[in-house]
Structure 1
């Protein structure tokens, strides 16, 4: 077909597809405009769709917030149990030591009473005849004999006083150790009750968190599918979008946590320079990196992918302090199975000076170490390995998140 023929065909098609209106002998295209009702309906539909999208997104965010809160509650409850269990071990050891000391004191008192009885009997027999001062004077054949007899009497009298004193001391020791043992037994009983209550609370929190993880995943999947339908995208694309939004949320939280930690560090440094009365000036600071830190880090990294389980310390699952205690145990350093005790019992490190192997801590109130509920191990600047929470596995993550304490620790 020639160019001219092609042009003619196109013109003919256009002419037959566009309605013409004769006006004064001139044919023009009839403009078609949507009515105001159509515009209003389209706007209303778009607004309704946007509102649905916003509502679904808000539900997703609320679901994640609820899950975060449940995981934090489990972390706190699990730490309460870990701490109570560690303290129960201490109280049990103290009670055992106190009972052993009381038994030894009681035995010593029994021996002292026997010695005192024997001495009393011998003294009684001696003063009735052989060892009275008058008898000694009357029966002495000479002054030398009298002096010898008198010295013997004084020796026996002094020895009796020694035995009496030893018996009195033994009785006092037996009484005090018996009282200490009773106190230690009561402390052990209290610690046992506290550990049992903490275990029950932790299991309840774990059950709640486990159920919420499952239900949240199901609801999130349904919400994402609805979003994809509303926005006319694929589910996979919407899942990518949600992952991006979550990454943005975590990045914002990390930035805020880092700023807060740096501000706390500056405030700590300022207080430390203000004089010996400052609380931070009394913080026991760590020296150089601990020998064995590389071993601890390597051991912790070898556990990547193993599941979180509260109160677990391996070999197949871990909670946060269970992972760090086993990692440092592989390096020959003993730590308690409690993030709070791992914080309170070790030398402190400023966040800016953290080295691989150092521990970082998280609390519901960063000014109160008794609210610590999580610990991770630094493996590189700004990065840690951790056993995070129920439903997750041992992983690497940024150290910067809400609740980061202003100091880490350096086990030694």
Structure 2
């Protein structure tokens, strides 16, 4: 083999790891020194390869940071959307309470009016008896008949007793009217507060939705550009890099799921027997109907505050699914958690609900709910930009207890 052939072989070997710019420098060096690569050539090639590796690492770090920012934005949206759902569900409850309280106040006021009328009637009857010249004493004096006196006294006692009864009824009706009127006023105030909360939560949720949409779009643009750059640096295709990145993300999610499962199991063990959930009643036929209904929605888009039929948010999906099975749930993941029988994770069955929170020790931070369809698997309306899907229940924020609607 000639020196020139040896030189060419070495250059080709270095080219496998060096970008085009570095190759140009090597070719220029070869023209000046046709013998073999100098140490400077080797150092330059190694530096170019090292720079490429550093750029790849930096790009991958930026992609990971972008994914974390996207996850954080989705969580903020989920929290804001749940705040709105909870406020809206509370508004519905308070509105119903206000209507009931007003109706009760009106009925109590009417009862008081009837009692006042009865009281006036009794008083009028007693007055007429005296004004007509009738009295027990007059009866005895004029008739000399003790039986007439006894009958007259009984009549007077009856009227007096009736007056006392009616007076008591009137007083009770008045107290009830006042009490129910106060309840109606309190219910109206609560309704106004709930309305304000709902409006505020809706504004926050819309802002969070807009921010999440912006993050999704920006992250997608950055990801596309960085993936193309990564493919260029590593001399691969964009499609191959996309597949590789998807694989890395799947590995990250799997690791997070394993960590979440381990954390949930550790929390259950550390809680001890006193803190474990009581065993819920066995699932009913309604659970199967709820699961079937939820699975029939696969592929429909997530839209915050939506409850079908064409789009859903998380609690809207579970509410409608159980509604199809004849069980009424509020449109709020927090209220679905607090209002149903608790179930330990180890006892979950199809149809049960699982919850996710920013602080698993505080149910008021719950922001997501899914429905169990198989061991370790749920159907969910996940987040903006995604569709109803099945996924693992094990991920960050999983609450130690689920619930079983009934």
Q: Same fold per TM (> 0.5)? A: yes
Q: Name the structure 1 match of 2:236.
A: 233
1:26-70: CA deviations, max 9, x gaps?
A: xxxx99553333333223222222221121111111111111001
Equivalent pair of 1:136/1:150 in contact (CA under 8 Å): no
Q: Is the contact made by 2:87 and 2:201 (CA closer than 8 Å) also made in structure 1? A: yes
Matches within 5 A, 1:207-246: 207-246=210-249
Find the aligned partners of 2:286 and 2:101 in 1 and give their Cα distance.
36
Deviation (angstroms), 1:373: 0.8
Separation in structure 2 between the aligned mates of residue 18 and residue 88 of structure 1, nearest angstrom: 82
Match of 1:150 in 2: 153
Q: Contact 1:98–1:177 at 8 Å: present in 2 too?
A: yes
Residue equivalent to 1:63:
66
Paired with 1:153 and 1:16, the residues of 2 have a C-alpha distance of 139
State which of 306, 312, 331 in structure 2 corresponds to 1:312.
306
Select the residue among 364, 372, 392 that pairs with 2:386: 392
- Aligned CA distance change for structure 1 residues 201 and 131 (closer, same or farther; 3 Å): farther
Distance 2:2 2:330 in 1: 85
Aligned to 1:409, the other structure's residue is in SS state: strand
- 1:90 and 2:84 matched: no
Q: Flag as ranges the 4+ runs of structure 1 deviating above 6 A.
A: 15-19
Distance verdict in 2 for CA 1:131–1:252, change over 3 Å: farther
Alignment of 1:257 with 2:260, yes or no, is yes
In the alignment, which of 121, 127, 133 is matched to residue 124 of structure 1? 127
- Return the alpha-carbon distance in structure 1 between the equivalents of residues 198 and 336 of structure 2: 18
Equivalent runs, 1:190-209 vs 2, <5 Å: 190-209=193-212
**Is 1:343 aligned to 2:337, yes or no?**
yes
1:330 aligns with 2:324: yes
**1:170 maps to what in 2?**
173
Contact 2:136 2:149 in 1 (8 A): no
Structure 1 position 371, deviation (Å): 0.8
TM-score, length of structure 1 as denominator length: 0.88
CA distance in structure 2 between the aligned counterparts of 1:66 and 1:260, rounded to whole angstroms: 23
Check 1:16–1:65 CA distance in 2 against 1; reply closer, same or farther (3 A cut): closer
Structure number with bigger Rg? 1
Across the two proteins, how many residue pairs are aligned to each other?
Answer: 381
- Alignment of 1:36 onto 2:44: no
Contact between 2:299 and 2:389, CA under 8 Å: does it hold in 1?
Answer: yes
Cα pair distance change 1:16/1:227, threshold 3 Å: closer
Across the aligned residues of Structure 1 and Structure 2, the Cα RMSD in angstroms comes to 2.1
Q: After superposition, what is the alpha-carbon deviation per residue over 1:107-147, rounded to whole angstroms, capped at 9, x for unaligned?
A: 11111112222222332332345344433433343111111
Which secondary structure state, in structure 1, belongs to the residue aligned with residue 379 of structure 2? strand
Preserved contact between residue 305 and residue 312 of structure 2 (Cα < 8 Å): yes
Pair 382,160 (structure 1): closer, same or farther in 2 beyond 3 Å: same
1:261-276 matches, cutoff 5 A = 261-268=264-271, 270-272=272-274
Match of 1:357 in 2: 351
Question: In 1, distance between residues paired with 2:383 and 2:185?
Answer: 40
CA contact (8 A) 1:137 1:146 kept: yes
Separation of aligned partners in 2, 1:328 and 1:15: 80
Gaps of 5+ in 1: 1-12, 20-29, 273-279
User: Partners of 1:226 and 1:369 in 2: how far apart?
Assistant: 44
